[in-house]
Structure 1
Amino acid sequence: MSATAAASNDKFAKVPPRTADLNETWAFLSPGVDHIMTNLEAGLTFPNYTNLYTAVYNYCTSTKMTGMGSSKPDNSRAGANLVGSDLYQKLTEYFTIHFVPMKQTAAGLQDEELLRYYAQEWARYTTGANYLNRLFTYLNRYWVKRERDEGKKDIYQVYTLALAQWRTQFFLPIQRDGSKLAGAVLRLIERQRNGDVIDQGLVKKVVLSFVSLGLDNTDPNKECLDIYKEHFETPFIQATELYYKKESEAFLSENTVSEYLKKAEERLREEEDRVERYLHTKTRKELIAKCEDVLIRQHAQLMQDSFQKLLDYDQDEDLQRMYALLARIPDGLEPLRKRFESHVKQAGLTAITKIVGEGGAAADNIEPKNYVDALLEVHRKNAETVSRSFKSEAGFAASLDKACREFVNRNGATGTSSTKSPELIAKHADMLLRKTNKVAEEEDLEGALNRVMILFKYLEDKDVFQTFYSTKLSKRLIHGVSASDEAEASMISKLKEACGFEYTNKLQRMFTDMSLSKDLTDAFKERMEQNHSEDNDINFSIMVLGTNFWPLNPPTHDFTIPVEIVTTYERFQKYYQSKHSGRKLTWLWNYSKNELRTNYLNQKYILMTSAYQMAVLCQYNRHDTLSLDELVAATSITKDILGQVLALLTKAKILVNEEKEQYDLNPGFKSKKIRVNLNQPIKAEVKAESSDVLKAVDEDRKYVIQATIVRIMKARKTMKNQALIQEVISQISQRFAPKIPDIKKAIETLLEKEYMERVDGQKDTFAYVA
Structure 2
Amino acid sequence: MATASARQGMPMPPAPNREDIGATWNYLQHGIDRIMVNLQDGMDLATYMGIYTAVHNFCTSQKAVGLGGPNMGSQAHRGGTDLPKVLDATSAKAFLFRVAHLLGEDLYKKLIEYLDNHMEGLCNKSIAHTDEALLAFYIKEWDRYTTAAKYIHHLFRYLNRHWVKREMDEGKKDTYDVYTLHLVRWRDKFFNVVVKKVMDAVLKLVEKQRNGETIEHNQIKQVVESFVSLGLDEHDASKSTLDTYRFHFEEPFVAATKEFYDAESKQFISENSVVEYMKKAETRLNEEEERVKMYLHNDITGPLRKACNEVLIANHKDVLRDEFQVLLNNNREDDMARMFNLLNRITDGLEPLRQKFEAHVRNAGLAAVTKVASDAEKLEPKVYVDALLEVHTQYQGLVKRAFHDEPEFTRSLDNACREFVNRNDICKAGSNKSPELLAKYTDVLLRKSGTGVEEAELDATLTQIMTVFKYIEDKDVFQKFYSRMLARRLVHSNSSSDDAETSMISKLKEACGFEYTNKLQRMFQDMQISKDLNNGYKEHTKGLSLDKPLDSSYSILGTSFWPLTPPNTQFNPPAEVQADLDRFGRYYKNKHDGRKLTWLWQLCKGEVRTGYCKSSKTPFTFQVSVYQMAILLMFNDKDVHSYEDILSNTGLNSETLDGALGILCKAKVVNLKPDGGKVGPNTTYHLNYDFKSKKIRVNLNIGTKTEQKQEEVETNKTIEEDRKLVLQSAIVRIMKARKKMKHSQLVSETITQIKSRFVPKVSDIKKCIEILLDKEYLERLEDDELGYLA
- TM-score, normalisation: structure 2: 0.92
Look up the match of 1:396.
409
Check conservation: 2:8, 2:37, Cα contact below 8 A: no
Which stretch shows the higher mean deviation, 311-320 or 685-694?
311-320
Per-residue CA deviations over 1:84-136 (Å, capped at 9, x if unaligned) read: 11111111111122233322221111100111011101100110011111111
Q: For residue 211 of structure 1, report the CA deviation from its aligned partner.
A: 2.0
Residues of 1 paired with 2:380 and 2:743: CA distance?
Answer: 44
Match runs of 1:392-431 below 5 Å: 392-415=405-428, 417-431=430-444
Check conservation: 1:440, 1:483, Cα contact below 8 A: no
Match runs of 1:283-298 below 5 Å: 283-298=300-315
Residues of 1 paired with 2:734 and 2:161: CA distance?
Answer: 78
Look up the match of 1:491.
504
Is the partner of 2:150 in helix, strand or coil? helix
Look up the match of 1:624.
639
Residues of 1 paired with 2:113 and 2:418: CA distance?
Answer: 81
Look up the match of 2:330.
313
Per-residue CA deviations over 1:131-183 (Å, capped at 9, x if unaligned) read: 111111111111112222222211211111111211222222224xxx21211
Matched residue type, 1:561: P
Q: For residue 54 of structure 1, report the CA deviation from its aligned partner.
A: 0.8
Is the partner of 1:440 in helix, strand or coil? coil
Check conservation: 1:439, 1:445, Cα contact below 8 A: no
Q: For residue 534 of structure 1, report the CA deviation from its aligned partner.
A: 2.6
Q: 1:704 aligns with which of 712, 716, 726?
A: 726
Q: 2:209 aligns with which of 170, 182, 192?
A: 192
Matched residue type, 1:327: N
Look up the match of 2:20.
21
Q: For residue 577 of structure 1, report the CA deviation from its aligned partner.
A: 2.5
Residues of 1 paired with 2:728 and 2:101: CA distance?
Answer: 94
Residues of 1 paired with 2:658 and 2:769: CA distance?
Answer: 47
Matched residue type, 1:618: L
TM-aligned CA distance change 1:439 to 1:449, over 3 Å:
farther
| Residue 51 (structure 2) pairs with residue 38 (structure 1) | no
Matched residue type, 2:97: R
Q: For residue 327 of structure 1, report the CA deviation from its aligned partner.
A: 1.1
Q: 1:95 aligns with which of 115, 121, 124?
A: 115
TM-aligned CA distance change 1:225 to 1:70, over 3 Å:
farther
Per-residue CA deviations over 1:549-570 (Å, capped at 9, x if unaligned) read: 1111222111121223221122
Residues of 2 paired with 1:63 and 1:355: CA distance?
Answer: 108
Q: For residue 768 of structure 1, report the CA deviation from its aligned partner.
A: 1.7
Matched residue type, 1:77: F
Matched residue type, 1:211: V
Residues of 1 paired with 2:575 and 2:346: CA distance?
Answer: 83
Residues of 2 paired with 1:128 and 1:527: CA distance?
Answer: 111
Look up the match of 2:161.
141
Matched residue type, 1:161: L
Q: For residue 42 of structure 1, report the CA deviation from its aligned partner.
A: 1.0
Q: For residue 287 of structure 1, report the CA deviation from its aligned partner.
A: 1.3
TM-aligned CA distance change 1:228 to 1:585, over 3 Å:
same
Residues of 2 paired with 1:88 and 1:276: CA distance?
Answer: 41
Check conservation: 2:8, 2:33, Cα contact below 8 A: no
Look up the match of 2:67.
none
Match runs of 1:670-749 below 5 Å: 670-749=692-771
Matched residue type, 1:108: A
Which stretch shows the higher mean deviation, 693-702 or 224-233?
224-233
Matched residue type, 2:521: Q
Look up the match of 2:350.
333
Matched residue type, 2:623: M
Q: 1:112 aligns with which of 132, 139, 148?
A: 132
Per-residue CA deviations over 1:315-336 (Å, capped at 9, x if unaligned) read: 2221122111111111111111
Per-residue CA deviations over 1:16-67 (Å, capped at 9, x if unaligned) read: 344x410111111111101101110111112211111111011111238989
Residues of 2 paired with 1:165 and 1:63: CA distance?
Answer: 30
Residues of 1 paired with 2:334 and 2:309: CA distance?
Answer: 20
Matched residue type, 1:189: V
Q: For residue 442 of structure 1, report the CA deviation from its aligned partner.
A: 7.9
Residues of 2 paired with 1:401 and 1:70: CA distance?
Answer: 95
Matched residue type, 2:761: K
Per-residue CA deviations over 1:523-572 (Å, capped at 9, x if unaligned) read: 222222212x2334311111111111111122211112122322112222
Is the partner of 1:608 in helix, strand or coil? strand
Residues of 2 paired with 1:140 and 1:636: CA distance?
Answer: 120
Q: For residue 497 of structure 1, report the CA deviation from its aligned partner.
A: 0.8
User: Tell me, which stretches of 5 or more residues in structure 1 are unaligned?
Assistant: 1-6
Check conservation: 1:9, 1:32, Cα contact below 8 A: no
| Residue 626 (structure 2) pairs with residue 604 (structure 1) | no
Is the partner of 1:535 in helix, strand or coil? coil
Matched residue type, 2:404: K
User: Tell me, which stretches of 5 or more residues in structure 2 are unaligned?
Assistant: 1-6, 65-75, 678-682
Residues of 1 paired with 2:452 and 2:779: CA distance?
Answer: 56
Is the partner of 1:552 in helix, strand or coil? coil
Which stretch shows the higher mean deviation, 657-666 or 27-36?
657-666
| Residue 95 (structure 2) pairs with residue 75 (structure 1) | yes
Matched residue type, 2:431: S
Q: For residue 499 of structure 1, report the CA deviation from its aligned partner.
A: 0.7
Matched residue type, 1:410: R
Look up the match of 1:276.
293
Q: For residue 216 of structure 1, report the CA deviation from its aligned partner.
A: 1.5
Check conservation: 1:529, 1:536, Cα contact below 8 A: no
Q: For residue 263 of structure 1, report the CA deviation from its aligned partner.
A: 1.4
Residues of 1 paired with 2:665 and 2:326: CA distance?
Answer: 60
| Residue 249 (structure 2) pairs with residue 232 (structure 1) | yes
Matched residue type, 2:361: V
Which stretch shows the higher mean deviation, 67-76 or 399-408?
67-76
Q: For residue 504 of structure 1, report the CA deviation from its aligned partner.
A: 0.5
Which stretch shows the higher mean deviation, 160-169 or 236-245?
160-169
Is the partner of 2:752 in helix, strand or coil? helix
Residues of 2 paired with 1:325 and 1:500: CA distance?
Answer: 41
Match runs of 1:100-499 below 5 Å: 100-175=120-195, 179-357=196-374, 361=375, 363-415=376-428, 417-441=430-454, 444-499=457-512
Matched residue type, 1:747: I
Which stretch shows the higher mean deviation, 118-127 or 745-754?
745-754
Is the partner of 1:603 in helix, strand or coil? coil
Check conservation: 1:596, 1:614, Cα contact below 8 A: yes
Residues of 2 paired with 1:323 and 1:364: CA distance?
Answer: 42
Residues of 1 paired with 2:81 and 2:204: CA distance?
Answer: 60
Residues of 2 paired with 1:599 and 1:438: CA distance?
Answer: 34
- TM-score, normalisation: structure 1: 0.95
Which stretch shows the higher mean deviation, 716-725 or 593-602?
593-602
Look up the match of 2:597.
585
Matched residue type, 1:102: L
Which stretch shows the higher mean deviation, 691-700 or 742-751?
742-751
Look up the match of 2:570.
558
Residues of 2 paired with 1:192 and 1:603: CA distance?
Answer: 93
| Residue 687 (structure 2) pairs with residue 665 (structure 1) | yes
Residues of 1 paired with 2:633 and 2:81: CA distance?
Answer: 138
Matched residue type, 2:517: T
TM-aligned CA distance change 1:69 to 1:523, over 3 Å:
farther
Which stretch shows the higher mean deviation, 435-444 or 688-697?
435-444
Q: For residue 600 of structure 1, report the CA deviation from its aligned partner.
A: 2.6
Over the residues paired in the alignment, what is the CA RMSD in angstroms? 1.9
Per-residue CA deviations over 1:440-495 (Å, capped at 9, x if unaligned) read: 33861111111100111111000000000001101111111101111101110111
Matched residues, number: 753
Check conservation: 1:645, 1:682, Cα contact below 8 A: no
| Residue 579 (structure 2) pairs with residue 567 (structure 1) | yes
